Structure formats: structure tokens, C-alpha cells
């Protein structure tokens, strides 16, 4: 700019000299004015040219800086996404960012650095029956129960054990950091507060009947994106039950179901799994209850209903429980008055098939009940 001013002064001086020469030679005064105006125009053009050259240079520098910064951010995003297991083409990302900058050179476009990575699902199942459901739905687990009675699916080999179904270890469960702990709803009163105290989410499912088992399949399937698999499992159940129910439409034998425990026994109502199997097979469970699975009832109350058949099963230490039954029935004279005892209609059934929770082995349990209820 300083050079332009010096050049302007030089041209004005030339113009004045030319004016003087014209006067001495009687030339027209207008020539000096024209020369001066021309000189000024030239100066202005040079000033504008230099000004816009500087502006273009500055804008080019700023644009290049924006492109470099945004390209670096795009490459950082690529590295971040790649570290999260996503496949990203860094050249495409950078090219797209540069293209956006070329279209909007006055805007500093910053790519979104957040990635939609789903939260890891970490599920613990605290009963063998629930593990069976998860296996059929194709869902992985990070924690399973300790069990010596049931065999878990091979997909859960090596998975951390969290203690017994009745009393899972809360310290182990907390250390696994589950997103959900799934347990039978028969244990909700005992376990809900414990789960809350260690700050883990929990789900309780109904395994007190075959219907409850399949309702649980649908619930878990919907919750973990396995609805199609759940629908297929339920379809198989509906087809089986439809065919099975058509086999027994006659009279219903009255049945008493006893669940043996070490040192005692309970009456299994229609609301329990073992008790519900009797009714599913076409029999009548003589003790109904809308909310309780098991009842403490005296032999005298049982005798008042005088069942046609008595079925005995066990839970926990089954050998000891069955030995307890033998002693009870042989030493307590009241049992001699039962019609079922008189007619030799007392049966000990497989505690694995007739346990506390519903399993997918219920067709085998029903097959075992048929000769008991209807004869060979």
C-alpha cells in the first residue's frame, strides 16, 4: 500500500510538469487533467488488485486451515470407531469432509464424534430351567447356577457359577456386573430386595406351570430381540397340547400331590408345577389355590377329600425325602384309611421331571402320568 502512495505522488508530479509544459507551449489545459485522471485510475486499480490479492491469500489460508483441522478430526473419528470394532474407510470419510468444506468454505464443519454402540448385555440366570429357556432362544449368559441335578447346555460350559438357585451368592453376582438377573418368581420375596441392595436389575419369571414356562419364553424373547424364536417354541407347545388333550376326555381321577422335603412334606396345589402337570394330564388336583403353590395341611384334612391317587415327589435331598415318606406312611396309622393306600395307588415319581420349576421335559412327565392316571 505504501508503494502505491509513492507511485501516486510520482504520477501527480509528472502530471503537473506536463501541465506546465503545455502552458509554455500553449497546449490545452485539458491534457494535464486527462493525464492526472488516468494516473489516478491506474493507482486505484493497483490498490484494488493488491487488496483483493491479500484478501484471497488470507481466505485461502483460512480455508486450508479449516480443511486440515476437519480432516484431522475425521481421522480421529475413524481411529475411535475402528477401536470400537467398526469398519470405517478413512479415505472416504476425509474425502466427504473435504467435499463439504469446498461447498461451504465459510463454515467450519465438525463431524459427529459419537457412535451408536449398543450397551453390552450381561445376563445371569439363577435356575437350570431359565438356562434352558435362554439356550433355546440362543442367548448367552455371564452367570449360571450351581446344580448337581440338571445338566446345563454345553454353550454355558465355563460360565461363572453364582451359587444355588435358592440362595445365589450376591457378592459374585455383583462382581460380574450384570445388566439383568433372571430368577423364578417363586423366589421373588427372598431375592428381590437382595438384588436391589447390590444395585442390579432383576427379572422374575413364572415357572410354576407349563403355561407359565411358555409365557416366560415370550417375555424373554420380546425383551432380548428373540421374538421369532419364541414364537416358534410356543407354536410347538400349542400343537403338542392340542394333540395331547384330545387323548383324555373321560372321567378325571382325584389326585393328591405331595412334595417331600428333608424332614417334612407339603401339599402341591394346582398352582405349582408338579400339581399343574396332573391337571394338564387330565386329572383333578384335589387342592386348588389361586396364589399359593404349596400348602401345609394335616393328614386329616387330606383324608376328608379322599383322593383316588397319591403322587409323591421331592425337592432337595430327594433320597432323604423319599425315605421320610416311607417312614411317615408306615408309622402313621391315618394313611391306612386312604382309598389310594388301600388300592395300592401311591406312586413315587421322578423328582427331576416333577420338580419345583417347569421345564421343557414336561412331555416326559405327562407320559409318566398316563399309566398312573389311566392304567396301562
| Percentages (nearest 5) of helix, strand, coil residues in the chain | 55, 10, 35
Domain closes at, from 243, 275, 301: 243
Query: What pLDDT score does 119 carry?
Result: 67
Burial label for 317, CB within 10 Å (0-12, 13-18, 19+), is middle
Question: What grid cell was written down for 6?
Answer: 509513492
**Domain count for the chain:** 3
Residue 116 lies in a domain: no
Q: Which residue has the cell 493507482?
A: 43
**219 and 150 in one domain?**
yes
Whether the pTM exceeds 0.75: the reply is no
Same domain, 214 and 134: yes
Structural domain includes residue 322: yes
**What pLDDT score was predicted for residue 59?**
43
Residues 82 and 148 occupy one common structural domain: no
Q: At what angle do helices 30-83 and 2-24 cross, to 10 degrees?
A: 170
Q: In this structure, is residue 345 part of a structural domain?
A: yes
Residues 257 and 363 in one domain: yes
Q: Are residues 171 and 257 in the same domain?
A: no
Q: Are residues 51 and 132 in the same domain?
A: no
Residues 216 and 278 in one domain: no
Radius of gyration for the alpha carbons in the chain, expressed in angstroms and rounded: 44
Enumerate residue ranges in the chain where pLDDT < 50. 1-71, 73-118
Domain membership of residue 117 (yes or no) is no
Q: Which domain holds residue 350?
A: 251-374
Q: List the CATH number of the domain containing 285.
A: 3.40.50.1980
**pLDDT of 283:** 93
Sign, Cα dihedral of 190, 258, 363, 320: positive
Q: Please give the pLDDT value at position 315.
A: 83
CA distances from 358 to 136, 214, 363, 365 (A): 15, 9, 11, 10
pLDDT tens per residue, range 77-99: 444 444 444 444 433 333 343 43
Amino acid at each position: 500500500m505504501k508503494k502505491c502512495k509513492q507511485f501516486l505522488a510520482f504520477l501527480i508530479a509528472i502530471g503537473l510538469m506536463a501541465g506546465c509544459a503545455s502552458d509554455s507551449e500553449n497546449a490545452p489545459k485539458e491534457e494535464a487533467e486527462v493525464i492526472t485522471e488516468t494516473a489516478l485510475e491506474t493507482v486505484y486499480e493497483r490498490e484494488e488488485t493488491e487488496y483483493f490479492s491479500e484478501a484471497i491469500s488470507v481466505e485461502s489460508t483460512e480455508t486450508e486451515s479449516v480443511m486440515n483441522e476437519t480432516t484431522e478430526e475425521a481421522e480421529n473419528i475413524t481411529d475411535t470407531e475402528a477401536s470400537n470394532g467398526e469398519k470405517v474407510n478413512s479415505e472416504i470419510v476425509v474425502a466427504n469432509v473435504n467435499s463439504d468444506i469446498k461447498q461451504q468454505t465459510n463454515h467450519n464443519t465438525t463431524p459427529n464424534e459419537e457412535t451408536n454402540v449398543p450397551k453390552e448385555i450381561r445376563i445371569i440366570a439363577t435356575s437350570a430351567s431359565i438356562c434352558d429357556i435362554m439356550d433355546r432362544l440362543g442367548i448367552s449368559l455371564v452367570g449360571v447356577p450351581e446344580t448337581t441335578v440338571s445338566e446345563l447346555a454345553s454353550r454355558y460350559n465355563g460360565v461363572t457359577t453364582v451359587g444355588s438357585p435358592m440362595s445365589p451368592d450376591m457378592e459374585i453376582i455383583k462382581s460380574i456386573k450384570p445388566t439383568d438377573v433372571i430368577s423364578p418368581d417363586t423366589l421373588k420375596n427372598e431375592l428381590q430386595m437382595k438384588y436391589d441392595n447390590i444395585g442390579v436389575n432383576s427379572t422374575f419369571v413364572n415357572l410354576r406351570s407349563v403355561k407359565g414356562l411358555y409365557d416366560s419364553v415370550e417375555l424373554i424373547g420380546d425383551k432380548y430381540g428373540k421374538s421369532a424364536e419364541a414364537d416358534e417354541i410356543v407354536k410347538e407347545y400349542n400343537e403338542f397340547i392340542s394333540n395331547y388333550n384330545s387323548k383324555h376326555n373321560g372321567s378325571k381321577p382325584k389326585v393328591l400331590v405331595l412334595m417331600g422335603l428333608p424332614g417334612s412334606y407339603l401339599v402341591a396345589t394346582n398352582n405349582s408345577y408338579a400339581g399343574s402337570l396332573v391337571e394338564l394330564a387330565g386329572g383333578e388336583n384335589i387342592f386348588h389355590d389361586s396364589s399359593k403353590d404349596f400348602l401345609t395341611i394335616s393328614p386329616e384334612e387330606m383324608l376328608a377329600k379322599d383322593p383316588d391317587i397319591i403322587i409323591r415327589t421331592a425337592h432337595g435331598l430327594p433320597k432323604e425325602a423319599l425315605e421320610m415318606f416311607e417312614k411317615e406312611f408306615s408309622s402313621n396309622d391315618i394313611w391306612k384309611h386312604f382309598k389310594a393306600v388301600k388300592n395300592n395307588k401311591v406312586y413315587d415319581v421322578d423328582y427331576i421331571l416333577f420338580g419345583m420349576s417347569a421345564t421343557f421335559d414336561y412331555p416326559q412327565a405327562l407320559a409318566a402320568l398316563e399309566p398312573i392316571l389311566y392304567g396301562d
